[in-house]
């Protein structure tokens, strides 16, 4: 689940909860008004209409509550799946860095590069000179057998896609 999907899901849950609240207030109003009408007059078309509206609103509340529950459960499952994917990806990267024989400093720089930080940002975070970071990136790319940052990142993306729909059927 991407950030946009998560935000859309949370927005949908908030909208459903707001809808549920407004509908509950409207149903409460119509039920109270119908009860008040029954105390003052016999059952008439106006009171019957208010009860029907109240029943319709209650049915809508039940439907919205079910939808809200489903949405919240879907968000929870997606969050669990995302955390699992993050952990799997981190283990994949760490394992590959180990197989390439990256030093601890190169691993840090490699992670920052995969996150999309530029040389100046990596240097600032590591308290190193930009030339040092460039040299570390060059060693990382050489050990990985790639020519630059794009191929370095693509190496991991390709590994993720190999398990998906991009593979030819057996």
State the average pLDDT for the chain: 83
**159 touches 97 (CB < 8 A):** no
**For the residues 56-71, what does the mean pLDDT come to?**
86
- SS3 at position 128: coil
Q: What is the DSSP letter of 164?
A: T
> What is the CB neighbour count within 10 angstroms for residue 123?
20
Tens digits of residue pLDDT in 94-146: 999 999 999 999 999 999 999 999 999 999 999 999 999 999 999 999 999 99
**94 touches 111 (CB < 8 A):** no
Separation between Cα atoms, residue 22 and residue 140, nearest integer Å: 58
**CA–CA distance from 129 to each of 64, 112, 119 (Å)?**
57, 15, 9
Name the more confident of 112 and 12.
112
Please tell me the pTM assigned to this model: 0.53
Residue 169 has pLDDT above 50, yes or no: no
Closest CA to 144 of 90, 89, 97: 97
Confidence of residue 162 (pLDDT cuts 50, 70, 90): low
**For the residues 87-98, what does the mean pLDDT come to?**
87
Stretch among 13-27, 31-45, 67-81, 138-152 having the lowest mean pLDDT: 31-45
Q: Which CATH class is domain 101-165?
A: mainly alpha
Closest CA to 55 of 23, 94, 27: 27
Which tokens belong to 116? 């999309």
**For the residues 12-38, what does the mean pLDDT come to?**
83
Stretch among 7-11, 42-46, 58-62 having the lowest mean pLDDT: 7-11
**For the residues 56-63, what does the mean pLDDT come to?**
87
b/e code 131-170 from CB counts within 10 Å (16+ = b)? ebbeebbebbbebbeeeebeebeeeeeeeeeeeeeeeeee
């Amino acid at each position: 689940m991407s950030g946009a999907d998560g935000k859309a899901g949370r927005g949908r849950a908030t909208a459903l909860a707001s809808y549920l609240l407004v509908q509950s207030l409207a149903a409460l109003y119509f039920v109270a008004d119908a009860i008040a009408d029954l105390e003052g007059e016999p059952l008439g078309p106006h009171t019957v209409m208010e009860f029907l509206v109240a029943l319709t609103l209650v049915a809508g509340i039940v439907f919205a509550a079910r939808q809200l529950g489903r949405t919240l459960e879907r968000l929870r499952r997606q969050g669990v799946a995302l955390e699992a994917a993050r952990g799997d990806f981190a283990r994949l990267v760490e394992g590959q860095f180990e197989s390439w024989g990256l030093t601890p400093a190169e691993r840090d720089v490699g992670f920052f590069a995969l996150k999309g930080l530029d040389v100046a940002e990596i240097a600032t975070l590591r308290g190193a000179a930009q030339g040092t970071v460039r040299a570390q990136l060059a060693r990382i790319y050489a050990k990985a057998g790639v020519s630059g940052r794009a191929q370095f990142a693509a190496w991991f993306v390709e590994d993720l896609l190999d398990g998906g729909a991009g593979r030819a059927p057996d």
